[in-house]
Amino acid sequence: MIETHQLGKRFHDSGGGELRAVQDVNFRCAPGQIYGLLGANGAGKTTTLRILATILAPSEGRATVAGFDVESQPEQVRRNIGFLSTATALYARLTAEEMVQYFGRLHGLDEAVLRRRIDEIFERLGMNEFRRRRCDALSTGMKQRVSIARTLVHDPPVMIFDEPTAGLDVMAARTILDFIRECRDRGKTVVFSTHVMSEAEKVCDTIGIIHQGRLLVEGTLAELGNRYAGKNLEDIFMAVVQP
């Protein structure tokens, strides 16, 4: 379960000014559900998800992930999440397999369990052909699959995806979206941010639209369609952010 209550984040610039990146954000995502956080670049999606992943501390409000508070219990939160974004870095000199092994050991997995998990993940994601290739020699799509593998090697109950298909070709993006659906089908709690409306329509159970740091509206695609006179998601999005 993920829950946020009046979540906010402020940044200060060198001139003493203040930027409110996130303001009064409230939403809830349950196990077996994909919550889609939609917004343009700079809307506050990434800041919100980085708070949930304990990368940033909130300035106001609170958030809990898998029952743990992101500020007072960050280590427990990290044990229970997998966080994936296009900015996820890989160690160039490690092979794909070494990269996933490294993160599995960071999570304290037993070696026998780790080997089994790696075999399962590499088979599922079609990674065996580049299993022993160094990360700096991989294509963008291959690197993203390695990032997925290192994100889920410890089998976390909560998955957070921050625009994971940005910059990928059609085939690689489809692999990511199929995997996100599988996470939901396995009962995981999934938050997925994107600015691609067609992706949200395909995979999200509940959709929240964030703009200028505020969550303006949320609901299922059917609920939003009824509320906005049967419009498609792109038209709904524009009606919300530019009324």
Say what the pTM is. Answer: 0.89
CATH architecture of the domain 2-80+156-241 equals: 3-Layer(aba) Sandwich (3.40)
Each residue's pLDDT, cut to its tens digit, for the chain (243 residues) gives: 999 999 999 998 777 788 889 999 999 999 999 999 999 888 899 999 999 999 999 999 999 999 999 999 999 999 999 998 876 789 999 999 999 999 999 999 999 999 999 999 999 888 999 999 999 999 888 898 899 899 989 999 999 999 888 777 888 888 888 888 999 999 999 999 988 888 999 999 999 999 999 999 999 999 998 988 877 899 999 999 887
How far is 94 from 4, CA to CA, in rounded Å?
37
Residues 6+ apart with CB under 8 A from 126: 145, 175
Angle, alpha carbons 238-206-237 (nearest 5°): 0
Domain coordinates in residue numbering, the chain: 2-80+156-241, 89-155
Task: Using only the alpha carbons of the chain, give its radius of gyration.
Answer: 18
Please state, for a pLDDT cut of 90, what percent of the chain lies above it.
Answer: 69
Q: What are phi and psi of 197, to 5 degrees?
A: -65, -40
* 61-100: pLDDT as tens digits: 999 999 999 999 999 999 999 998 876 789 999 999 999 9
